[in-house]
Amino acid sequence: MKRISIDPVTRLEGHGKIEIFLDDKGDVANAYFQVPELRGFEKFAEGRPVEELPRITPRICGVCPEAHLMASAKACDAVYGIEIPSTAKKLRELQYSAFFLGDHTTHFYALGAPDFVMGPDAPKAERNVIGVIKKVGLEIGGQVIKTRRECHEVAQILGGKPVNPVNAIPGGMSKGLTKDERARIEQIAKDGVEFGKFTQKIFEDVVLKNKAYVDIIVSDPYTFPTYYMGLVDGSNKVNFYDGKVRVVGPDGKEHCKYAPNDYREFVAEHVEPWTYLKFPYLKKIGWKGFTGGPDSGVYQATPLSRLNASDGMATPLAQAEYEKMYKTLGGKPVKHNLAMHWARIIELLYSAERLLELVRDEEITGPEYRVLPTKTPSEGIGIVEAPRGTLTHHYWTDENGIVKKANLIVGTTNNHAPICMSLKKAAQGVIKAGKPVTDGLLNMVEMAFRSYDPCYGCATHSLPGEMPLEVIVYDRDRNIVHRLSR
Amino acid sequence: MNGQLFEYSSSFDKLRTNGKKMKTVILGLGNTILTDDGVGIYVVREIQKLITDHQSPITIKEASLGGFNFIDLLAGFDRAVIIDAIHTKDGVPGEFYELDPAALNPSARLSSLHQIDFATACELARNMGVAFPVEFAIFVMEVADEFSFGEKCTPKVEAAVPKMSEAIVQILIERKWMNDAAKRS
């Protein structure tokens, strides 16, 4: 068998691309990004029994399988007109909290922290989690690995598998929680809360105490006002699993609040000729092009959006950090994209606290964790917050529960237009006529993209790693003037 | 299919290096609902059929994950054989080859968009003192379509699965990573 080396960007099909176009003077005229997209899900879903979808849809994405599992199970509950038992709801949220804790941990330490700990213009080879550990200490690496392992253990306990569990089913959960299992999860949750506090401390020490970094966060290239979307509970507090979708404007005032079933009254999708990805926008305001502000229907659905769209966090430690963030960054809503990293670790702490709260709930070991569907199935919508934004599953079935049509709006799709605009704005801010374009500058453009934790990565596991990304700068005659690959 | 769908290992182990028992994992990567993307999984299932249960110190795993998960998947093994799909610009679907593990070093510009990449996961595990493979072999098959939903490979890829599985087993025997007796006759 032959043995070869490959260069992922020049040789692999299907990599991501950010393209920056300069004008006559050498300033940024426009910026676009393109990524490979999965095709044919609707057709794939058609003709299957709807109860298969909670098992299939988590496999769409290797990054956020639990988000699809929960949205799909909720959509199935709705298809069968079932109100699931309280224990089932709490078990799902318990499992989902552990998933969020693990996912936000991964994102922050692998993607967010390197730019701040190592510096945005540090050499690429050092700007990663290894560099972070070398600089801040081995303890961090150990904590990250332990937290991730323990979050997988919660999934293993509840769903029988450490990753991609399939235990959320129409009508509830396939298995309850025993007292012994509960004791173990309680310990994991306590560790998680400590880790959440430790993460706030790292952020404080490394980012907030470094004026240069705070200046970058609040700087104009990374400031981008739009509408903000997030799921809230009955008290308008952030909730990942259930509630109503609330949207606030760039002025922080409520634009709308709707139940999942009504999403089509509030959200529509715009199509552009240069990409197959759609651009959701707020229907009542309308699509006004790639522009932000109160007159444009563009909204963001991110950790920061969730905090902006809520009146606070439902747990005490996270609430204290929430207040600190708004106090530090000048009140609500925060419009600085890089503050998404801060919002994400506040959510990290919240998910650990929520995990502890739920595992201590008397009902969590209750025997009623499933009801059997008895009504004739028809149509159902399930909405949860995925780590990367509001996730909607919408299914239509015939009277036998066979899928006739399925529509998904995944987390990152909500942010497609804002990502394009944030990229352009960051590029315009850091690339200037007469100033050489360097790798460090292009990384600063990429930081705007990365803060969204974009996940088109439904195909990210093809070797040799994850999806490669290329940033290309063109002059006005479309000649390549700089290229950065990673 | 994800995580540890099936796994077996044997206490009967004839393969030793310097007196140390070498534990080997064969990891198939892919997503079996994305047409050709699942090829790594199909190949390890085929390899499973080619080796006996009783004489092989080999663990077989399937996963559709990357990044940090490599640490969990590979921890505790001395050698790792990884099988996955690849799609290069001039690739011919169904052709398979071995990737040079050195190409997965971070200096080769392999950073991840979403998570950490394979090389970083390896380095992280070693830095953290996790028992982690010291030897790797990476086999990939060129695919035609890994972006469309579908539960079956395209014809050329499907046809190459048995050939690739057979070739990998042969290479592992030649390298003495696998006992000759482990192969079903």
pLDDT band per the 50, 70, 90 thresholds, residue A455: low
pLDDT band per the 50, 70, 90 thresholds, residue A286: very high
Query: Cα–Cα distance between A398 and A9 in angstroms, integer?
Result: 45
Tokens coding A473: 């700068």
Domain ranges of chain A: 8-36+415-485, 83-222+336-372, 224-335
Non-local (6+) Cβ contacts of A30 within 8 A are A20, A21, A424
Highest mean pLDDT among A27-41, A128-142, A203-217, A250-264: A250-264
Whether the ω angle into residue A464 lies within 30 degrees of 0, i.e. cis, is yes
- φ, ψ for residue B81, nearest 5 deg: -110, 120
Cβ B149–A43 below 8 Å, yes or no? Answer: yes
Best residue of A128, A462, A470 to probe chain B, by most B CBs closer than 10 Å: A462
- φ, ψ for residue A13, nearest 5 deg: -80, 150
Q: Are strands B24-29 and B58-63 parallel, antiparallel or unpaired?
A: parallel
Q: What is the CATH number of domain A83-222+336-372?
A: 1.10.645.10
Size of interface A-B (CB pairs under 8 A): 210
* Reported ipTM: 0.82
> Which chain A positions have a beta carbon within 8 Å of B97's beta carbon?
1-4
> Which chain A positions have a beta carbon within 8 Å of B67's beta carbon?
106, 110, 466
Q: Which of A31-35, A127-131, A457-461 has the lowest mean pLDDT?
A: A457-461
pLDDT at residue B183, rounded to an integer: 66
Query: Cα–Cα distance between A187 and A84 in angstroms, integer?
Result: 27
Query: Cα–Cα distance between A113 and A432 in angstroms, integer?
Result: 27
Q: Which of A336-345, A358-367, A417-426, A445-454 has the lowest mean pLDDT?
A: A445-454
Residue A463 scores a pLDDT above 50: no
pLDDT band per the 50, 70, 90 thresholds, residue A436: confident
Instruction: Give the residue from chain A lying closest to B120, CA to CA.
Output: A130
3-state secondary structure of A409: strand
Non-local (6+) Cβ contacts of A281 within 8 A are A267, A268, A269, A270, A287, A296, A297, A298, A299, A417
- In terms of Cα–Cα distance, which of A351, A444, A324 is closest to A20? A444
3-state secondary structure of A14: coil
Cβ B117–A464 below 8 Å, yes or no? Answer: yes
Best residue of B111, B151, B164, B168 to probe chain A, by most A CBs closer than 10 Å: B111
Non-local (6+) Cβ contacts of A126 within 8 A are A118
Query: Cα–Cα distance between B24 and B92 in angstroms, integer?
Result: 30
Percentage of residues in chain A having pLDDT higher than 70: 93
Cβ B115–A2 below 8 Å, yes or no? Answer: no
Listed by number, the residues of chain B in 67-126 with a beta carbon closer than 8 Å to a beta carbon of chain A are: 67-69, 71-72, 82, 84-89, 91, 96-100, 102-104, 106-120, 123-124
pLDDT at residue A459, rounded to an integer: 36
Best residue of A466, A469, A484, A485 to probe chain B, by most B CBs closer than 10 Å: A466
Q: Does B2 touch chain A (CB under 8 A)?
A: yes
pLDDT at residue A131, rounded to an integer: 84
Q: Over the range B30-42, which residues count as b (16 or more CB within 10 Å of their CB) and which as e?
A: bbbbbbbbbbbbb
Query: Cα–Cα distance between B177 and B182 in angstroms, integer?
Result: 11
Please tell me the distance in Å from A294's CA to the nearest CA on chain B: 31
Cβ A163–B69 below 8 Å, yes or no? Answer: yes
Distance of CA A115 to the CA centre of its chain: 19
- Cα–Cα distances (Å) from A312 to A23, A318, A323, A386, B161, in that order, read 44, 9, 8, 18, 54
> Do A139 and A21 touch, CB atoms closer than 8 A?
no
Query: Cα–Cα distance between B140 and A96 in angstroms, integer?
Result: 34
Instruction: Give the residue from chain B lying closest to A134, CA to CA.
Output: B127
DSSP state of A161: S
Query: Cα–Cα distance between A402 and A53 in angstroms, integer?
Result: 11
Instruction: Give the residue from chain B lying closest to A449, CA to CA.
Output: B113
Give the model confidence (pLDDT) of A22-80 as tens digits.
Answer: 998 888 998 888 777 777 888 899 999 999 999 988 888 767 889 999 999 999 999 99
HEC assignment per residue over B55-93: CCCEEEEEECCCCCHHHHHHCCCCEEEEEEEECECCCCC
Best residue of B115, B136, B148 to probe chain A, by most A CBs closer than 10 Å: B115
Domain ranges of chain B: 16-182
pLDDT band per the 50, 70, 90 thresholds, residue A352: very high
Cβ B87–A12 below 8 Å, yes or no? Answer: yes
Sign of the C-alpha dihedral, residues A375, A373, A165, B141? negative
pLDDT at residue B16, rounded to an integer: 38
Give the model confidence (pLDDT) of A226-262 as tens digits.
Answer: 999 999 999 999 999 999 999 999 999 999 999 999 9
The continuous run of DSSP H or E covering A147 comes out as: helix A138-159
> Which chain B positions have a beta carbon within 8 Å of A41's beta carbon?
149
Please tell me the distance in Å from A143's CA to the nearest CA on chain B: 10
3-state secondary structure of A395: strand
Instruction: Give the residue from chain B lying closest to A165, CA to CA.
Output: B2
Instruction: Give the residue from chain A lying closest to B172, CA to CA.
Output: A1
Cβ A12–B96 below 8 Å, yes or no? Answer: no
CATH superfamily membership of B16-182: HybD-like (3.40.50.1450)
Query: Cα–Cα distance between A134 and A150 in angstroms, integer?
Result: 24
More confident residue, A88 or B111: A88
Best residue of B29, B83, B149 to probe chain A, by most A CBs closer than 10 Å: B149
- φ, ψ for residue A245, nearest 5 deg: -85, 125
pLDDT at residue B184, rounded to an integer: 65
Residues present in chain A in total: 486
Q: Which of A31-45, A350-364, A371-385 has the lowest mean pLDDT?
A: A31-45
Listed by number, the residues of chain A in 54-83 with a beta carbon closer than 8 Å to a beta carbon of chain B are: 56, 59-60, 62-63, 65
Residue A329 scores a pLDDT above 60: yes
> Which chain A positions have a beta carbon within 8 Å of B4's beta carbon?
161-162
Residue A195 scores a pLDDT above 70: yes
> Which chain B positions have a beta carbon within 8 Å of A5's beta carbon?
99-100, 102-103, 108
Query: Cα–Cα distance between B95 and A4 in angstroms, integer?
Result: 13
Summarize the confidence of residues A209-237 as an average pLDDT. 94
pLDDT at residue B115, rounded to an integer: 58
Listed by number, the residues of chain A in 114-133 with a beta carbon closer than 8 Å to a beta carbon of chain B are: 124-125, 127-130, 133
pLDDT at residue A4, rounded to an integer: 61
pLDDT in tens, chain B (185 residues): 333 323 333 333 334 344 567 889 999 988 889 899 899 999 999 999 988 765 567 899 998 777 778 888 899 999 999 998 888 878 899 999 998 776 654 322 233 444 577 778 888 888 888 888 989 998 999 999 888 889 999 999 999 999 999 999 999 999 988 877 666 65
pLDDT at residue A42, rounded to an integer: 81
Q: Does A453 touch chain B (CB under 8 A)?
A: yes
Q: Which among B30, B68, B99 has the least Cβ separation from residue A148?
A: B68
- φ, ψ for residue B157, nearest 5 deg: -70, -45
pLDDT band per the 50, 70, 90 thresholds, residue A396: very high
Beta strand ranges found along A261-362 (DSSP E): 267-270, 279-282, 299-300
> Which chain B positions have a beta carbon within 8 Å of A453's beta carbon?
114
Q: Which among B107, B109, B123 has the least Cβ separation from residue A485?
A: B109
**Ramachandran sector of residue A252 (left: φ over 0; alpha: ψ -120 to 50; beta: rest):** left
Cβ A129–B102 below 8 Å, yes or no? Answer: no
Look over chain A and give the mean of its residue pLDDT values, rounded to a whole number. Answer: 89
Q: Does A101 touch chain B (CB under 8 A)?
A: no
pLDDT at residue B17, rounded to an integer: 44
Cβ B116–A128 below 8 Å, yes or no? Answer: yes
